[in-house]
Homo-oligomer: A and B are copies of this chain.
Amino acid sequence: MTSVDTLDQVSEILSHAEKKCVARGVRLTDKRKLVLSSLLQMNKAVSAYDIVDYCKKQLGEIVPAMSVYRILDFLQEQQLVHKLNLVNKYVACCEIACDHSHEVSQFLICSSCHKVKEIKLGKITEAELRRDVEEAGFKLVSPQLEINCLCEECVKASN
C-alpha cells in the first residue's frame, strides 16, 4: 500500500465521518478532523499525547493535550473512535465507512507495537460469554473485549 493510497483512504473515511456527523446534527470541526485524521494515518493504538506530537511534527499543527482529550471524547460518542482501556490508548473505529449500525467490537492489541485489529467474535462465543457472566451474578455492561496478542510481524521479529 503506497502513501498516496493511504491518504486517499483517509480523506474517503473522513468524508464518511463528516456525513455521519451531519446526519446526527453534530459538527466535525477542523480540529476534530485533524485528530481523527491523525489517528487514521497512524493506524495503531496511540495515546492522546502521541496525537499531540503527531500533529506538531507531521502536520505542523499545535493542539493542546486538553483539546485532544475533549475531541477524543466527542469522537467516542460519535462512535468514530474507541478507547482501549487495556493500554490507555485510542484507535479509529474500523467501521466508519460502513452504513450499517455499529456492533460491539473485540480488539486484538499487539503488546509489542500496539497495532490493533477490530474483529467480531462468533455468535456462540458472545452468547456464552454473556451466559457465563450472568451465572456469576454480574451483568454485562459492555461486551467489548480487549485481548493481549502479538501481531504477525512482531511474532516473526521475536524469533
Q: Which residues of A contact B (CB under 8 A)?
A: 85-88, 106, 108, 110-111, 117, 119, 121-122, 124-125, 128-129, 132-133, 136-152, 155
Provide the bound-state CA to CA distance between A155 and B141, in Å. Answer: 10
| Nearest CB on B from A54, distance (A) | 24
The answer to whether B129 touches A117 (Cβ under 8 A) is no
Provide the bound-state CA to CA distance between A141 and B148, in Å. Answer: 6
The answer to whether B145 touches A147 (Cβ under 8 A) is yes
Which residue of chain B is the closest to A121 with respect to CB atoms? B132
Provide the bound-state CA to CA distance between A136 and B145, in Å. Answer: 15
The answer to whether B146 touches A150 (Cβ under 8 A) is no
The answer to whether A149 touches B155 (Cβ under 8 A) is no
